[in-house]
Amino acid sequence: MTQQTIRLTMAQALVRFLTAQFLANDDGSETPLFAGVMAIFGHGNVTCLGEALEAAGDTLPTWRGQNEQSMALAALAYAKVKRRRQIMVAASSIGPGATNMITAAAAAHSNRIPVLFLSGDVFATRRPDPVLQQVETFDDPTVTVNDGFKPVTRYWDRITHPAQIISSLPQAVSTMLDPATAGPAFIGLCQDVQEMAFDYPSVFFERRVHLIPRPRPDRAEVARAVAALKSARNPMILAGGGVRYSLAEDEVLAFARKRGIPVAETIAGKGTMLAGDPLSLDLLGVLGSTAANAAARRADVVLAIGTRLQDFITGSWSVFAPDCRIVALNTARFDANKHRAIAVVADAREGIADLDAALGEWRAPAHCLTQAAQDMADWNGLVDRLQAPDNAAIPSYAQVVGAVNASSRPEDMVLSAAGGVVGELTKGWRVKGRYGFDCEMGSSTMGYEIAGGWGAAMARPEGETFVMLGDGAYLMMNSDIYSSVLTGHKMTVVVCDNGGFAVINRLQVFKGNKPFNNLLRDCRVKDVVRVDFAAHAAAMGAAARKVENLADLPAALAWARKQDRTVVLWIAVADDRWTPGDAWWDVGVPEISNRQEIRDARADHMAGRAQQRVSV
């Protein structure tokens, strides 16, 4: 029997394949797997890939970004909001357009988030070499700038013949959807191959409905984990991003209630527990609550669900007692086996179900919840005091976060990434709804904030998307304010202006250094010229206001909610008032210095290193 074929260019076939992919949801519905394309065209992708995308129309909508890095960060935020159940494509030309996206690919890789990167590449025939924007490697002509994506993607390929997408695209999709390998995929599209026609088998374009696998754990792994839990006198649950991507919040919470175990969260897991839940310890680690850190120090067994145990959470492996046992429930074996953990390799929802079934009537000692509730009451009292208005001329970050949080509703979300606002959000934002929090600290990518806000607003039009960031992050990447105005995806951006990179100045001074090259007043400048952020945002079409003081912020937020386009609110914040933290963090401190302050900091820091858990 003759196989039916369809003759298309490689670029046309690629787009047609993408539009034929769907995802089966838990409720029985189906949604397109690829929600759209974030693209900036250049000579390496406009004439062929651009032609195919234009023809796709609303079936695979194309959105034009202002910067390749920021549009790819928007794609990352979109997939986070969709809990990895829809994927955006980020497409660029060859050369600097492609290298601009590498930072975003690294952020997606660190966060385990699927984004499909498509970039133009050199000519497979090499006839016109070297082509415009080609970076030549003298000893290896097969290397291009696109090889730079290899360390920061889960799947990588370069298409040098039109038939290759028949095997490559399904593998890229499978990699991105598998929770154990979830992350970005990259495919380089040689410019001459994009134009080539090929007789593709028609079955390649048949509608395919994908399932996200939910692997069950090995019974022996469950038995070891259950034995550890049953022996625990002070157990704690640590809920990571994997809980949220598994859509397992309800199951984890029900398990914790049934077993009487308090729950702390990672940054990616924040939102698993809603504010006020009696089991909640809030966030663990360097940016966490005193309650969570105290529970970690007491814990003899920690059930860590869906977390890669990043150093901001573990306090560089100093928050846990040396003899604390970790039960790591994770889809990725790589993450489940870190730091002497009892590994349970499984989906969060399925793994919790099997653990629950095997635990019988066991319940943690009652004192675990009693102590956790007392510690959380003390912590909440501190946060309330720090967020309360006072007579200071310039408010603190905590006060601004408190005001925005007070104005938020359960259907709203807040988004941030790097800088001083991050610690204040993780410590002081009370999550009211399950989709209420996104702080990109997997890679801590400055520039994610506004770009991510655009992607998040696109993914979830219901509710307000609050973007909170400092003046430094705003200046680093802000052009997607214009993107959001053009496309009608509203967000409310709160710019907290403290005159530079204040949080890194805080670390610099805390470790004994002189203030240097962080706050504007400590930089090599002719004049300290402060930016009018309201005027700048208004020039990009946003509704914008300068908020003169903390008392005016609630009214400004109410005004922002009524606007029909992106809003930017600009408010000055103090550069030296912070919510305290009690977890240690490992950074380099000079072993030799002429400054007594650094010598003192070094001695203190080495005492912290003595508390680190040994990784064997």
Find the mean pLDDT for residues 435-457.
95
My answer on whether 234 and 278 are in the same domain is yes
My answer on whether 35 and 99 are in the same domain is yes
Q: Is 231 exposed, middle or buried (0-12, 13-18, 19+ CB in 10 A)?
A: exposed
Q: How confident is the model at residue 579 (pLDDT cuts 50, 70, 90)?
A: very high
Tell whether 582 is covered by a domain: no
Tell whether 578 is covered by a domain: no
pLDDT of 301 > 80? The answer is yes
What residue numbers bound the domain in which 105 lies? 5-210
Contact 166, 200 (CB under 8 A): yes
pTM exceeds cut of 0.95: yes
Q: Is 615 exposed, middle or buried (0-12, 13-18, 19+ CB in 10 A)?
A: exposed
Query: The CATH number of the domain where 491 resides is what?
Result: 3.40.50.970
Q: How confident is the model at residue 392 (pLDDT cuts 50, 70, 90)?
A: very high
My answer on whether 10 and 159 are in the same domain is yes
Q: Is 461 exposed, middle or buried (0-12, 13-18, 19+ CB in 10 A)?
A: exposed
Q: Token digits for 132?
A: 């415009």
Tell whether 607 is covered by a domain: no
My answer on whether 73 and 204 are in the same domain is yes
My answer on whether 164 and 27 are in the same domain is yes
Task: Give pLDDT, residue 192.
Answer: 96
pLDDT of 225 > 70? The answer is yes
My answer on whether 37 and 170 are in the same domain is yes
Q: How confident is the model at residue 387 (pLDDT cuts 50, 70, 90)?
A: very high
Q: Is 587 exposed, middle or buried (0-12, 13-18, 19+ CB in 10 A)?
A: exposed
C-alpha 439/C-alpha 423 separation (Å) is 10
Tell whether 262 is covered by a domain: yes
Tell whether 307 is covered by a domain: yes
My answer on whether 248 and 326 are in the same domain is yes
C-alpha 330/C-alpha 266 separation (Å) is 14
pLDDT of 616 > 60? The answer is no
The bridge status of strand 21-24 relative to strand 30-32 is: antiparallel
My answer on whether 367 and 422 are in the same domain is no
Query: The CATH number of the domain where 292 resides is what?
Result: 3.40.50.1220
Find the mean pLDDT for residues 217-242.
98
My answer on whether 142 and 179 are in the same domain is yes
Q: How confident is the model at residue 133 (pLDDT cuts 50, 70, 90)?
A: confident
Closest CA to 578 of 415, 382, 391: 382
pLDDT of 1 > 70? The answer is no
- The three-point CA angle 272-583-228 to 5° equals 60
Tell whether 596 is covered by a domain: no
Ramachandran sector of residue 313 (left: φ over 0; alpha: ψ -120 to 50; beta: rest): alpha
Contact 109, 184 (CB under 8 A): yes
State the number of CA atoms in the 13 A half-sphere of 419 facing the CB: 31
Tell whether 613 is covered by a domain: no
Give residue for tokens 């860590």. Answer: 304
**Percentage of residues in the chain with pLDDT exceeding 70?**
100
Find the mean pLDDT for residues 522-541.
96
End-of-domain residue from the set 350, 375, 400: 375
Task: Give pLDDT, residue 613.
Answer: 83
Closest CA to 159 of 134, 179, 181, 188: 188
Closest CA to 91 of 125, 130, 48, 129: 48
Q: Token digits for 27?
A: 């409720």
pLDDT of 614 > 80? The answer is no
End-of-domain residue from the set 210, 235, 256: 210
pLDDT of 615 > 80? The answer is no
Q: How many domains, in total, are found in the chain?
A: 3
DSSP string, 65-125: -SSHHHHHHHHHHHHHHTTTSSEEEEEE-STHHHHHTHHHHHHHHHHT---EEEEEE--SS
**Helix, strand, coil shares of the chain as percentages rounded to 5?**
40, 20, 40
Rounded to 10 degrees, what is the CA torsion of 598, 599, 600, 606?
A: 100
Q: How confident is the model at residue 2 (pLDDT cuts 50, 70, 90)?
A: confident
Computed on alpha carbons and rounded to an integer, the radius of gyration of the chain in Å comes to 25
Max intra-chain CA distance, the chain: 84
Task: Give pLDDT, residue 435.
Answer: 84
Task: Give pLDDT, residue 222.
Answer: 98
Ramachandran sector of residue 309 (left: φ over 0; alpha: ψ -120 to 50; beta: rest): left
My answer on whether 425 and 567 are in the same domain is yes
C-alpha 411/C-alpha 457 separation (Å) is 12
My answer on whether 193 and 232 are in the same domain is no
Tell whether 610 is covered by a domain: no
End-of-domain residue from the set 340, 375, 410: 375
C-alpha 105/C-alpha 88 separation (Å) is 12
pLDDT of 274 > 60? The answer is yes
pLDDT of 528 > 70? The answer is yes
Give residue for tokens 């039109």. Answer: 162
My answer on whether 225 and 206 are in the same domain is no
